[in-house]
Structure 1
């Protein structure tokens, strides 16, 4: 399996979704397009790779003699990421979830009439360091005088 190619294509695909989310006109079709063409396809790619990898059907390309990959121990998780396949699949996981959070932020900000100029840096932080971008957005909503419960509702 060419893990470098999969890694590169997933990166480009996710980045395209982020560019569309940040800079395309906020029309009714844009966000669903980014959601289905971005998040859903990345999630399908993730599932199509992690399931056969964990079942032993495909190789992760990692070194032999390391602990088996599993999600129940730190050594098992480290073993999963200590391979081209594991790192690529883990990265796709991050790409899909961060883009999903970015979509939520954009929809929520649009619904609350928060300027695109405020959204773009927050979306950038969400792309680069997911939870920091989310935290910045929630702080912005709090500083804007919104009730805390309204800061977490997507509408």
Structure 2
């Protein structure tokens, strides 16, 4: 079942390509405004985590407080796939935020937005941090110029 959920998560890559390559296309804008891909990934994750809880109970939560526990959890292939969908979902949500915020306010030029979205896709928090730093630099520049 978890491999099926993993396979079902792959269409989210299409949205990343649209965000990065075709940010002005009306389909891209509609998909971003609807947030359909993060919702879709969240639903897949919900199915996976509920199935894991129903079959294993909530005991795995006690593993969250140690590195050994996390390693043990991630060594379970089913749990690792659920965690991967969790990561995909949050990266997708952050990508949506960066896209929508920048398309509204134009803190960075679109080519740089595409680079930042690629960083969010590949390196999650690093891409998000880069965007936030550049956004703040741009905001301060506008305040001091105005």
Once residues 64 and 130 of structure 2 are traced to their aligned partners in structure 1, the CA distance between those partners, rounded to angstroms, is: 31
* Cα shift at 1:116: 1.3
Once residues 52 and 141 of structure 1 are traced to their aligned partners in structure 2, the CA distance between those partners, rounded to angstroms, is: 40
Name 1:55's counterpart in structure 2.
54
Q: Does 1:31 align with 2:32?
A: yes
* Cα shift at 1:108: 0.9
Q: Which one has a larger percent helix, Structure 1 or Structure 2?
A: 2
The one of 12, 17, 20 equivalent to 1:19 is 17
- Relative CO higher for 1 or 2, CA cutoff 8 Å, sep ≥ 6? 2
Q: Does 1:77 align with 2:70?
A: yes
Q: Does 1:136 align with 2:130?
A: yes
SS at match of 1:69: helix
The answer for unaligned runs of 5 or more in structure 2 is 141-146
Q: Does 1:126 align with 2:124?
A: no
- Taking a change above 3 Å as real, the CA distance of residues 51 and 76 of structure 1, as seen in their structure-2 partners, is farther
Once residues 71 and 53 of structure 2 are traced to their aligned partners in structure 1, the CA distance between those partners, rounded to angstroms, is: 14
Structure 2-normalised TM-score?
0.79
Once residues 47 and 31 of structure 2 are traced to their aligned partners in structure 1, the CA distance between those partners, rounded to angstroms, is: 26
Name 2:44's counterpart in structure 1.
45
Give the total of aligned pairs. 135
Q: Is the 8 A contact 1:69 1:77 kept in 2?
A: no
Once residues 64 and 111 of structure 2 are traced to their aligned partners in structure 1, the CA distance between those partners, rounded to angstroms, is: 42
* Cα shift at 1:57: 6.5
Task: Tell me whether 127-136 or 23-32 shows the greater mean CA deviation.
Answer: 23-32
Once residues 13 and 84 of structure 1 are traced to their aligned partners in structure 2, the CA distance between those partners, rounded to angstroms, is: 21
- RMSD over aligned CA atoms reads 2.5
